[in-house]
Amino acid sequence: MVNIFRSISTLSVPIPKLFWPENIRKAALEKSISDEADPSWFWIVILLVTGISICAWAFYYKNNLTLSYNDARSHLNVARRVVDSLQPGLAQIGSVWLPLQHLLQLFTIWNDFMYRTGLSGSLISMISFAGSNIFIWKIIKQFNLGNLAALTGVAVFSSNANILFLQTTPMTESLMLVTSLGAVFFFTKWVKYDQISSLILSGIFTLLAVLTRYDGWLLFAFLSFSTFAVSLMKHGRVKAEGHFILYSSLGLFGIALWIGWNAIIFGDPLFFVSGPFSAKAQQEILAARGLLPTKGNLALSIYTYFLTIKENVGEVIFILGILGFIKALFSKFNFTYKMAFLGLFVPVVFNIISLYFGQSAIHLPQLPPHTWFNVRYGIMSLPAIAICIAFLVNRREFVASILIMIALLQAALMYSDNNVITIQDSVRGSSGFFLDDTGAWLNENASQGLILTAASSNDALIFKSGLPLKHFITEGMAKYWNEALIHPARHADYIIMHEGDLVYNNLVGTSEFTENYKLVYLGNFASVYKKKTD
């Protein structure tokens, strides 16, 4: 403990002695002083991308696509249940997903318009998109690549058809991008200027990232290691320990919060890992059906993820990104800068590891089982590619112009070919089920009485029904749920289920169910049973 305090106390030294030779230190300082200021048109660029973001939302909303992902509707329901359910309260945040997106939605989700249109979540994604553009610009500037390179990076990122679509949906990808980019930006700034405030800000953004998606946990681990390594090189072991503790305590706090939440609410600190709604439980179902071909196959995992990136960014941008990556690796920047730069590639490593260990599944039409599922994970690498391409600009206007035009052409090609893969996933793939029929039936016929259903399987259908959430007995309504799974007739006028979901597994075959309920609707995805009146 004494060592820890000693380590932290050393951090107040304003200009640390650098680890590497004096001439390099001087050069770095001179370089930093000569940083170009942001041009006057920087905010015009950000205003422009914000305008594009709003137009994209209006366009996709008009085309009924902002809520086309089933998960998008579930994210809205998770937040909405906090204020509208049989047992409202913060506990409804649950354990399926990390909580930040849902907590942010609480500011607006109470409003019916914001909930039904999905704007409650879309707004967070759109603000995150604008923020991501700012951070991409700022990161590129940290590498002293100039305004033209920064503009190119922003153009590559903001013109991508897939991110433009995803930022209109209430999904968590956009929020994940902005929080992780924030963490990397401030980390890069800390590497460059050695300001403690930057390291703290990086830690705060990491805290937000670890509460957004599990991708953030690997970013936290990488940046924690990098903090120690960079500081060790610059300042020695004692200070490195202090920097490490300062940075990592913030991210660790987020992780501890989540583990504590699981322990308090679900009685198991690792409920999110091993619970019935965890990613692991869901992937086991896929694995049993032979739909997890990447599990245990590293080569296929790598190939699948790189193919997913290519499908998300387009082949030309993908190739340019690789060239930019090579150029960046062989650039004059020292090891510490490269550590910061590599932080952008954490999503690549995270997704490959997840695929290899069977913790996640990505399906592409080119690979068995020849469908679309979770293809949006490829978009997590877009910022890295955009920043890599910025390395190619080399302060040449002509090159920047060509690269920006190529980015725009790539986007135009995706639109003209109707080949925006994240949209395809949501309208043709497994990420979006076709629930209109059952949803409409429920709305017309089941508006009176309570409905028992497993939200873990049917949340999107619950949203689609348009009925208030207080009509549904779901997993979070423990007071009703536990009893309803044994004696459904005491509470439920209707039961919605499909083969394999929690309600189905508990009720089918029981006398209580067969004696009291009759099938009234046979849907494509789920069936509806009604309590017998006679």
| Residues of this chain that bind other proteins (CB under 8 A) | 60, 63, 65, 316, 319-320, 365, 369-371, 398-399, 402-403, 405-406, 409-410, 412-413, 416-418, 420, 423-428, 437, 441, 445, 518-522
Q: Which is nearer to other proteins, 111 or 419 (CB)?
A: 419
State in angstroms the smallest separation of the CB of 335 from other proteins. Answer: 26
Q: Which is nearer to other proteins, 30 or 62 (CB)?
A: 62
Cβ-based neighbours of 45, under 8 Å, separated by 6 or more: 133, 137, 151, 154
> Cα(222)–Cα(219) distance, rounded to whole angstroms?
5
State in angstroms the smallest separation of the CB of 468 from other proteins. Answer: 22
Q: Which is nearer to other proteins, 237 or 428 (CB)?
A: 428
Q: Which is nearer to other proteins, 332 or 370 (CB)?
A: 370
Cβ-based neighbours of 374, under 8 Å, separated by 6 or more: 360, 361, 362, 363, 425, 431
Q: Which is nearer to other proteins, 34 or 416 (CB)?
A: 416
State in angstroms the smallest separation of the CB of 171 from other proteins. Answer: 15
State in angstroms the smallest separation of the CB of 386 from other proteins. Answer: 16
- Provide the CA 88 distance to its chain's centre, in angstroms: 26
Residue 99 is classified by DSSP as S
For the beta sheet containing 527-531, the strands, ordered from the edge strand earlier in sequence to the opposite edge, are 472-473, 451-452, 494-497, 527-531, 517-522
> Cα(399)–Cα(145) distance, rounded to whole angstroms?
13
State in angstroms the smallest separation of the CB of 15 from other proteins. Answer: 37
Q: Which is nearer to other proteins, 245 or 385 (CB)?
A: 385
Q: Which is nearer to other proteins, 219 or 403 (CB)?
A: 403
Relative to beta strand 451-452, strand 494-497 is: parallel
State in angstroms the smallest separation of the CB of 531 from other proteins. Answer: 14
Query: Which among 462, 526, 531, 457 is positioned nearest to 497, based on CA atoms?
Result: 526
Cβ-based neighbours of 2, under 8 Å, separated by 6 or more: none
> Cα(70)–Cα(429) distance, rounded to whole angstroms?
11
State in angstroms the smallest separation of the CB of 298 from other proteins. Answer: 25
Q: Check if the beta carbon of residue 140 is closer than 8 Å to that of residue 384.
A: no
Q: Check if the beta carbon of residue 518 is closer than 8 Å to that of residue 530.
A: yes
> Cα(284)–Cα(274) distance, rounded to whole angstroms?
11
Helices (H), 81-236: 100-105, 112-117, 119-142, 147-158, 161-166, 173-193, 196-210, 215-235
Angle between helices 119-142 and 173-193 (to 10 degrees): 20
State in angstroms the smallest separation of the CB of 402 from other proteins. Answer: 5
Q: Which is nearer to other proteins, 360 or 438 (CB)?
A: 438
Q: Check if the beta carbon of residue 315 is closer than 8 Å to that of residue 209.
A: no
Q: Which is nearer to other proteins, 86 or 403 (CB)?
A: 403
State in angstroms the smallest separation of the CB of 173 from other proteins. Answer: 17
